Chains A and B, each alone.
Chain A
Amino acid sequence: MERARALGRLKFSDSGFRLATVVSALIVLILLAGVAIALFVGALPAFREFGIGFLFSDEWNPPKERFGAATAIYGTLVTSLLAMLIAVPVGLGIAVFLTELCWPPLRRPIGIAIELLAGIPSIIYGIWGVYYFRPVMQSYIQPFLISTLGNVPGIGFLFAGPPLGYGVLTAGLVLALMILPFITAVSRDVFDTVPTVLKEAAYGVGATTFEVVGNIVIPFTRVGVIGGVMLALGRALGETMAVTFVVGNATKIQTSILAQGTTISAMIANQFADADPGLFTSSLLALGFILFVISFLVLAAARWMLARLEMKA
């Protein structure tokens, strides 16, 4: 009798625990769907009012209640692109250094130091960017770019305008620093999956380190590296605080990368507090929905590529 009751209790707690884990796993699923649905519902008034034109209009006029997403989307793409241009080569360089060149006892400490860059909260990049990096940009880097590249016909328009310190390029550089550790960590891990015999065979026939990396390591891990780069891109697209501090928050598309601009996330962070309920708030939520869709697609592609590599390894 005692025994039957104890067994019954065990059975109950056993299925209860199993149920709890399944429900938790389902909640994770529902969360992502919930984010998409809640933002879409909030954005609906704006989408209804402006239709598909919301995506292409660069007007942002709160008093007249005319809103368009083009400026913010443009700024998000340009800052992320600039960040990738800098962070991808540097991040891959560090990963090559860590896997091929570094003295083994130093590998772990240097790897951890680079990963610490990812641990620094983004608000810190913001305050550092605006008080330390912006003056450096204004006094040295931007005047230099204006006086050299600014005079090159064809690309000079990219470097036009006064050196303000704030701007799209400054935001891109701060973003580059923030996503660097993600590129390094993923590429280092996928570089480590290259079978040692392959590399040794190449070294054995006299290949240099550069040739081993270029002809063996990179081709073998290409999909994984691209996955890591996309993962970093996903981060860059959605980054808020650091960008908000340095991008300048001008709601106007300008061709110069030294000019002030804005991004989707910076726009939301800056204007949400002042937004009237109604079309203004709904337009900001619509921006959030667009950001969600863009970064979902990029991140999903990244995960898909990394999963493919895992299957191969």
Chain B
Amino acid sequence: MAALYSGRKRRNVIWTGLAYAATVLGLSMLAIILGTLLWKGFGGLSLDVFTKNQAPPGVVGGLLNAIVGSVIQTFIGLAIGAPLGILAGTYLAEYGQNARLAYVVRFINDILLSAPSIVVGLFIYELLVVPVGNFSALAGGVALAILGAPIMVRTTEDMLNLVPNTLREAASALGMPRSLVIRHIAYKAVRSGIITGVLLAIARMTGETAPLIFTALGNSLFTLDPRGPMSSLPLIIYEFARSPYAEQQKLAWTGALILTFSVLALSIGARALSASTQQK
């Protein structure tokens, strides 16, 4: 009897101990990665990074063209992806609900949510780069839109489902058409929730590299023209990390630090916003 008890207890201690160990491992990996980024990247932070363009080895350069490129391409991605994602999410929650089309769209959207981003890049290459004949920031932005839209579809639908039906019924009873009920009542009730989805999508789009290799390509010069190739932070990190020159590697780490902390800040901000919506 005693042997049985102590055996069960021992097993329990060993297995729960392993669960503790797994958590410690996970948390320490996060700490190690963020620590490495700070240690290697923080020293390179200076005003030059934000005010100078990338330069050939031997010349003091910065990341200005890459940062501006990232902002422009994310903006293009958002301008295309946000209306698409929010409207499709609205269809799922408000009009489609249990229709067969809604089931299919939900399923496909969930797959797009984790589809390999490199495949999306190849798709846009076939669609927008080959026929036009040159790489462009516009193509990069469209690729990012495809990666960001599913996130907004999902959060918009989830958030609209939180709106109590009595609210919709009250507005309908006053004679408001369906579209006005959605736009003026439902959207307003969960505005911060929808913004959460947009922020999460921006975070995802800013960090993507693989689809940009075949679409925006990268550019060592400062450019604002979306019809031509353009650099971005992930692309410049990709290029400089494999460079043999120490100063370019250092800039890669600084870029990595800036990129990681902006992306993490966006996703933490999104989380805080969604927590406050759900409490309401």
Map CB proximity to B onto A268-284 as digits: 1 under 8 Å, 0 otherwise.
Answer: 11001100000000000
Interfacial chain A residues near B109, Cβ < 8 Å: 28
**Chief secondary structure at chain A's binding surface:** helix
Count contacts on A: residues with CB < 8 A to the other chain: 88
CB contacts (< 8 Å) of A208 on chain B: these are 8-9, 11-12
A100 CA / B23 CA spacing, docked (Å): 13
Q: Which B residues lie within 8 Å of A124 (CB)?
A: 33, 37, 207, 237, 256, 259-260
Say whether, besides A120-B260, A269-B210, A94 and B19 are in contact (CB < 8 Å).
yes
Q: In the complex, are the beta carbons of B123 and A17 less than 8 A apart?
A: no
Q: Is B182 an interface residue (CB 8 A)?
A: yes
Checking B20, B30, B110, B253 against A97 with a beta-carbon cut-off of 8 angstroms, the contacting residue is B20
- Please give, as numbers and ranges, the residues of chain A lying within 8 Å of B238 by CB-CB distance: 123, 126, 241
Which single member of B87, B146, B260 contacts A121 (CB below 8 Å)? Answer: B260
User: Could you tell me the distance in whole angstroms from the C-beta of A306 to the nearest C-beta in chain B?
Assistant: 8
Contacting residues, chain B, for A39 (C-beta < 8 A): 119, 122-123, 126
B221 lies within 8 A of chain A by Cβ: no
Chain A residue nearest to B93 in the complex (CB): A21
Please count the residue pairs between chain A and chain B whose beta carbons lie under 8 angstroms apart in the complex. Answer: 254
Residue contact B111 to A303, C-beta cutoff 8 Å: yes
Choose one: A96, A97, A116, A238; the contact of B116 (CB below 8 Å): A238
**Cβ-defined contact, A25 with B96, below 8 A:** yes
Cα distance A16–B26 in the bound complex, in angstroms: 49
Most chain A beta-carbon neighbours within 10 Å: one of B16, B29, B123: B123
Residue B273 at the chain A interface, CB threshold 8 Å: no
Binding site for A on B (CB under 8 A): 8-9, 11-12, 15-16, 18-23, 25-27, 29-30, 32-33, 36-37, 40, 83-85, 87-88, 90-92, 94-96, 101-102, 104-105, 107-112, 114-120, 122-123, 126-127, 146, 149-150, 153, 177-180, 182-183, 203, 206-210, 213-214, 234, 237-238, 241, 249, 252-253, 256, 259-260, 263-264, 267-268, 271
